[in-house]
Amino acid sequence: MSQTDGYGDGTRCVHAGLPEPAPGEPFLPGPVFAAPYHLDPAGGDAAAGRDWYGRPGNPTRRNLEAAIGELEGGDCLAFASGQAALTALLLSLVRSGDTVVLPADGYFTVRAFADSVLAANGVTVRTVPTAGPHPSFEGVRLVLLETPANPGLDVCDIADLAARAHAAGALLAVDNTTATPLGQRPLDLGADLVVASGTKALTGHSDLLLGYLATRSPELLATVRTWRDTTGSVPGPFDAWLAHRSLATLDLRLARQSANAAAVARALRSRSDVSGVRWPGLEDDPAYPVASTQMRRVPGIVAFDLGSAERVARFLSAAELVFAATSFGGLHTTADRRAQWGDDTAPGFVRLSCGVEDTADLVADIGRALDRSA
């Protein structure tokens, strides 16, 4: 039982990972900038379980890991980026001769990594669309899901696929970047591992890169920890501290982002010059049936099609409150045309990430920019 179990989301975010109150100490201790630490000159410190070097151990990073672990409901390891966490998962738990199943429509750099590094290491890579159908997992070592998938926002049933993976002897991991642990807790739904980019909504200020992996299995945790300690992809103390500070407002940020996405999606739906509007919170969205039972809240990302690259360019130039940028989950509303990065999407397909601006301002600005870009 973690310290914040039983409380609401806002309370859990504010208190997650904080040390016990002590007179004269800050609520969230500042970053500990240290590569080596003093050793006991006679006995060394490793045996005493203390920090002796910053790669395996840093108290600022441990506080952040405790916080994310409480929110995900498992033990957490922080990484220098989401991609570092994902590649740690795929390299530490998968061997030559193994087969992995990856989302065909998930974050494209994971597929690029699999096609180059994993394939060259003798790993068979199969890709399956998030909406399915998912084939038999017989003979598979690891299934990675990304739900909602980025950028198409399809959703799959984690509990069902975890049961099927386990029946076939496979591990199941979920990329929880888009949902965040307040949107869904994959470990509660039967996943063996959660992996995510903390660069996005989790920290939400567009000012740092972070990744993490969480699990309830001591064996999996030890394997990935050894991988991280020996390959060295850890976040620095300042980023870890900044991430922990930002985590405290996750509940507030997600609430506004999600409300903004609901309003933007409905406004886009009402226009005849916008097609393919996707937001898993819309009752007639194909993802709604699973999302509405599996997810505790729907993230602030909306996808739609403006028909051509030229119209997207005019829209992004005309908008005042929508920054053209390729990330999501931040305080500022951002959007990008996904085909420019190699995503298998139509030329006019846009991923728009709602920030925490006032809903009326955002809807009005997007409407004006669409009118001007028509």
Ligand X SMILES: Cc1ncc(COP(=O)(O)O)c(C=O)c1O
Point out which residues bind ligand X (CB under 6 A).
Answer: 81-83, 86, 107, 146, 150, 175, 177-178, 197, 199, 209, 211
Shortest reach from residue 46's CB to ligand X, in Å: 31
Give the residue at shortest CB distance from ligand X. 82
Number of neighbours of residue 241 by Cβ within 10 angstroms: 22
Residue 308 phi/psi, 5-degree rounding, is -155, 160
Residue 102 CA, distance from chain mean position: 16
Closer residue to ligand X in complex, CB, 98/175 = 175
Half-sphere exposure of 191 (CA within 13 A, CB side): 27
Closer residue to ligand X in complex, CB, 146/157 = 146
Closer residue to ligand X in complex, CB, 4/146 = 146
Buried b vs exposed e over 141-158: b needs ≥16 C-beta within 10 Å?
A: bbbbbbbbbbbbbbbbbb
Shortest reach from residue 204's CB to ligand X, in Å: 13
Whether omega before 186 lies within 30 degrees of 0, making that bond cis, reads no
Query: Please, which residues have CB within 8 angstroms of residue 120's CB and are 6 or more apart in sequence?
Result: none
Closer residue to ligand X in complex, CB, 198/348 = 198
Shortest reach from residue 322's CB to ligand X, in Å: 18
Shortest reach from residue 102's CB to ligand X, in Å: 12
d(CA 38, CA 85): 29
Closer residue to ligand X in complex, CB, 209/248 = 209
Cβ–Cβ under 8 Å, residues 319 and 311 = no
Residue 198 phi/psi, 5-degree rounding, is -90, 0
Closer residue to ligand X in complex, CB, 144/306 = 144
Closer residue to ligand X in complex, CB, 79/369 = 79
Cβ–Cβ under 8 Å, residues 31 and 235 = no
Buried b vs exposed e over 60-79: b needs ≥16 C-beta within 10 Å?
A: bbbbbbbbbbbbbbbbbbbb
Cβ–Cβ under 8 Å, residues 287 and 148 = yes
Shortest reach from residue 349's CB to ligand X, in Å: 15
* Sign of CA pseudo-dihedral 36, 38, 44, 46: negative
Query: Please, which residues have CB within 8 angstroms of residue 278's CB and are 6 or more apart in sequence?
Result: 152, 153, 265, 285, 287, 302, 303, 304
Closer residue to ligand X in complex, CB, 69/151 = 151
At 334, is the secondary structure helix, strand, or coil?
strand
The CA dihedral of 188, 189, 191, 194, to the nearest 10 degrees, is: -60
Closer residue to ligand X in complex, CB, 81/258 = 81
Shortest reach from residue 13's CB to ligand X, in Å: 20
Shortest reach from residue 184's CB to ligand X, in Å: 14
Shortest reach from residue 199's CB to ligand X, in Å: 4
Shortest reach from residue 250's CB to ligand X, in Å: 16
